[in-house]
Amino acid sequence: MEEQQKMGCCQHHPVKKILAIVVAVILVLLGIYLASLTRNSWRAYDYIGKSPDIKDRITVSGEGKVTIKPDVALISIGVISESGTVAQAQKDNTDKMNKIVEALKKEFKIADKDLQTSNYSVNPKYDWSNQTQRIIGYTVSQNVSVKARNFDQIGNIIARAGELGSNSVNGPDFTIDDPEAYRAQAREKAITQAKEKADVLAKQVGIKLGRIVDFSEGTVGGYYPVPMMDSLAVGRGGAETTKAVAPIIEAGSQEVQVSVSISYEII
C-alpha cells in the first residue's frame, strides 16, 4: 500500500513541476508585455501633437490681398447740454436728440437696426473759485451711433445734425459689414501662392512633395486711407441759426490681407 502511494506521488510530482514552469513562463511574458505597453505610453506622451514617425518636411508661406471699398460708415452724433438743474439739462438734451433721430429716420431713411444709443451721462459742473467747491450746474451728454450705408448722405447727415443741435460728432469710421467673405478670397489667393512656391522649390532642390502635414493662417491688418472727423464741434448749446455746410467725405479703400503657412511631407 505504501509503495502504491509513493508511486502516485512520484507520478504527480513531475506534473506539478511542469505546471509551475508554465505559470512562471506566462508571468514572465505578461511582465514583458506590460513593460512594453508602459514604454509605448511614455513615448506617446512625449510626442503629443506629433506624428510617431517624424519625417522630413518643407514649409512654405503665402500672402493674399483683396482691395475693396468699405460699405458701412460709422458716425457718432452727440449732444452736450448744460443747465442749472438736472431736469432742465435733460429736457434740452432730449429735445435736440429726439429731433436728430427723427430726421435720421425720416429724411435719410436710416433703419432702426442701424441706430443705437451709445452713451448717456449726467455730470455736475463745479466752480472752484475761492478755494471752495460749489456745484453751479449740470452737464448732460448723449450719443447715438449711426450706420450709414449710403455714402452720398454722410456729409448731409453731419450737417443736418449740427442744424438740429448736435455739438459733438465723431467719425466717419469706414468699415466692412461682412469682412469674412473678403477674407475667404484673400485666403484662397494666399494658399495658391504658397502651393506654387512649394512646387518651384521642390524642383529647384530636387525633392518630391508628399501630403500636407500642417497648415496655419494669420490675418494682416488692413489699411484705411480715409479722412477722420474727430470731435467735430458744430456749436455748443442751441441749434445753429445758419444752414450748416455739408463736408465732402471720401471713403477710400481697404485692404484685407491673409497669410498662410503650409508644410509638406518630403517623400
**Domain 72-176+229-249 architecture:** 2-Layer Sandwich (3.30)
Q: pTM score, two decimals?
A: 0.60
Tens place of pLDDT per residue across the chain (267 aa): 545 444 455 555 666 777 777 777 787 777 777 766 666 555 544 444 455 555 689 999 999 999 999 999 999 999 999 999 999 999 999 999 999 999 999 999 999 999 999 999 999 999 988 888 899 999 999 999 999 999 999 999 999 999 999 999 998 999 988 889 999 999 999 999 999 999 999 999 999 999 999 999 987 654 444 343 333 434 334 444 457 777 777 888 888 999 999 999 998
Other Cβ atoms closer than 10 A to 48: 6
Domain ranges (residues) in the chain: 1-51, 72-176+229-249
Class of residue 226 by CB neighbours under 10 A (exposed 0-12, middle 13-18, buried 19+): middle
At 58, is the secondary structure helix, strand, or coil? strand
For residue 231, which phi and psi values (nearest 5 degrees)? 50, 60
Rounded (10°) angle between helices 86-106 and 154-163:
150
One-letter amino acid at 141 equals: S
